[in-house]
Structure 1
Amino acid sequence: MNISICSFSFHRMLAAGEQDIFQYIQDCKQLGCTQLDPWNAHLAQLNHGAEVLHAGANPNQSQHLTAMDDEFLERVKLAADEAGLPFGCIAVDGAHIYEESEEARNSNRQRAYRWIAIAEKLGASSIRIDSGGPQQWTDEVFDIVVDGYQDIIDRAQKAGIKVIVENHWGPTVDPDNVVKLLNAVPGLGLLLDSWNWARGKQAEGWLKCAKYATVTHIKTFHFTEDGQELTQNIPAFCKLLQDNDFQGTWGVESVPADGNEIEGARKTIQLIQRSIS
C-alpha cells in the first residue's frame, strides 16, 4: 500500500522548532511512508512559531506563508531523493481562489502560480488549492471560483501537476458544494478529508464524495490503548473508499489530543493498515 503523512500532522513540532522540512522527510521515512505530502508552512519562510499556529488555525488568512527560495528548494529535493521518497500532494494555504476584491484574488493567484512552480521543481504529483468564498456561493461567486480553477489547472497541467480541492473550510464543508464544484471543473481532483464537514454532514460527505477521492486526509484525534480511534469510524471510512475503487495514496493527517505528533501519525498508519488488510 502507498501511504503518506501530511506535514500538518507535525505543525506543533514545526512551531516549536522541533522539526523542519528535512526532519519531516526523515520522520516520514522512519514511519514507512512511500511519498511526501508537505503542508506549505514546512516550505515557507517563518520568523517565529506563532506564524505556523496562526496558519493552521486560520487557513483563510495564511497569505504570510511565503515560499523559501529556489536554492533552499533544491536542497529539499535532494534530501527527498536521498531518502527515496517522491513528493505527492503539496497542501497550500493562502492561495485560495475567491476573495471579495479583485486585487486580493489576483494576489492569491500569483501565490498559486508560485506554488505550482514549486510543485514542479519538487516533482510533486498534485497541489491542493482551496476554493475560498462564503459558506454558500452565489452564482457570481461560483463563476469566479470555476474560472479561477480552470486557469490554475491549465497552468498546472503544463507542468504535469494535478490540482485538487479539499473539503476544508468555507463552502467546501458542504458535500453538495463539493460535488457541484467537481462537476463544473473538468480535471479538478478531490482531497477527501474524513473530518472536515459541517456539523451533521459527515456521513453525507463520505457517501457523496468517496467516489471522487484522488487523495485522502484521514483524521485522528483520540486513541484507545489498543489503537482504536474514538472520534470517528476510520475502518468504515477506509472500507467505503475501497468499495469506491480508491487507488490513491492513503494520506494521514493526525492531530493527536495528547500532543505526541510522531506517535499520533504512527498509530494512524497502523490503524489504516489494519483497516484495509
Structure 2
Amino acid sequence: MKISICSYSFHRLLAAGKQDIFQYIKDCKELGCTQLDPWNAHLSTIEKGEEVIHAGRNPGESQHLTSVDDDYLLSVKRAADEVGLPFGCIAVDGAHIYEETEEGRRRNRARAYRWIAVAEKLGASHIRIDAGGPEQWTEEQFAITVDGYRDVIGHAAEAGLQVVVENHWGPTVQPDQVVRLIEAVPELGLLLDSWNWAHGKQAEGWLKCAKYAKVIHVKTFNFTENGEELTQNIPAFCRLMKKSGFQGAWGVESVPHADGEIEAARKSIELIKHSVF
C-alpha cells in the first residue's frame, strides 16, 4: 500500500521553526510513508513563520513562496535517497494559471516553470498547479485557463512530470467545472481532495470526479477516541476510491483542530489503512 503525507499537514511545525524539509523527510519515514509529497512552502526560503500561515490560508496570494537554489535541492534529494523515499506530488501555491491581467499570468507562468524545474530535480512524478480565477468562469476565463494548462503541461512533460489540478479554491470547488476542465485538457490529471468542495457539493464531487483522480488528499480534522474522523466519512471516501480503481498513493492532508500535527498524521494513516483493507 502506497502512503504519503502532503507536508501542508505540518505547516504549523514549519511556521514555528520545528520542522524543515529534512525533518519532514525523516518524519515521513518514521510514519511509514512510501513517498514524499511536499507543499512548496517546505521547499521555499521562509523568513517569517507568518508567511507560512498566510500562504496556507491564502493559496491564491502565495507568490512570495520562492524556491531555494539548486545546490540546496540536491541536498534535499540526497536526504530523500538516503531514507529510500521518492518524491511524488509537489503541491505548488502561487503559480496558478488564471490571473486577470496578462502581466499577472506571465509572472505566474514563470513561477510554474521554475517549480517544474524543481520537481524535475527532485525526480517527482506529479506537480499540482491550481487553476485560479473566480468561482464561476466566463467563457473567456475558461479559454485562458485551458490554454495555460496546455502550455505548462507541455513543459512538465519534457521534465517527465504530470500536471494535476486540485479541487482547491476558485472555480475548482465546483464539481462540474473540474470535469469540464479535465475533459477539455485530457492530459491534465486531478488531485482529488476529499473536503475542498463548495457547500453541499461534496458527495457530487466524489461521485463525478473519483474516476479522474491521479493523486488524492484524504483530509482529516478531528478524531474520536477510537480513531474515527468526525468531520466526514473517510471510510466511504476510501471505498469509493478503491472501487474507482485508484492506483496512486493514499495521501494524507491532516489539519488537526486538537491533536498535534505528527499525531494527527499518524491517526490519519491508521484510519486509511483500516478503511481500505
Please indicate the TM-score interval, normalised by the length of the shorter structure: over 0.9
Of all paired residues, the percent bearing the same amino acid is 72
| 1:161 counterpart residue number | 161
Output the amino acid matched with 1:135. E
| 1:129 counterpart residue number | 129
Instruction: Spell out the pairing of 1:174-253 with structure 2 (5 A cutoff).
Output: 174-253=174-253
Deviation of 1:124 (Å): 0.2
Deviation of 1:186 (Å): 2.1
CA RMSD across the alignment: 0.5
Output the amino acid matched with 1:240. L
Aligned residue for 1:186, secondary structure, equals coil
**CA distance in structure 1 between the partners assigned to 2:74 and 2:256 by the alignment:** 32
| 1:152 counterpart residue number | 152
**CA distance in structure 1 between the partners assigned to 2:75 and 2:39 by the alignment:** 17
**CA distance in structure 2 between the partners assigned to 1:10 and 1:158 by the alignment:** 31
1:9 and 2:9 are equivalent in the alignment: yes
| 1:108 counterpart residue number | 108
Deviation of 1:159 (Å): 1.0
**CA distance in structure 1 between the partners assigned to 2:148 and 2:259 by the alignment:** 37
Instruction: Spell out the pairing of 1:16-35 with structure 2 (5 A cutoff).
Output: 16-35=16-35
Aligned residue for 1:187, secondary structure, equals coil
Note the alpha carbon deviations across 1:231-277, whole angstroms, 9 max, x for none: 00000000001111111110000001015000000000000000001
| 1:276 counterpart residue number | 276
Tell me the TM-score normalised to structure 2 length. 1.00
Deviation of 1:177 (Å): 0.4
Aligned residue for 2:229, secondary structure, equals coil
For structure 2, the residue ranges without an aligned partner over 5 or more in a row are none
Structure 2 CA distance for partners of 1:259 and 1:54, relative to 1, 3 Å: farther
For structure 1, the residue ranges without an aligned partner over 5 or more in a row are none
**CA distance in structure 1 between the partners assigned to 2:242 and 2:74 by the alignment:** 36
Note the alpha carbon deviations across 1:122-179, whole angstroms, 9 max, x for none: 0000000000011110010000000000000001001110000000000000000000
Aligned residue for 1:214, secondary structure, equals strand
**CA distance in structure 2 between the partners assigned to 1:69 and 1:259 by the alignment:** 34
Output the amino acid matched with 2:21. I
**CA distance in structure 2 between the partners assigned to 1:40 and 1:4 by the alignment:** 15
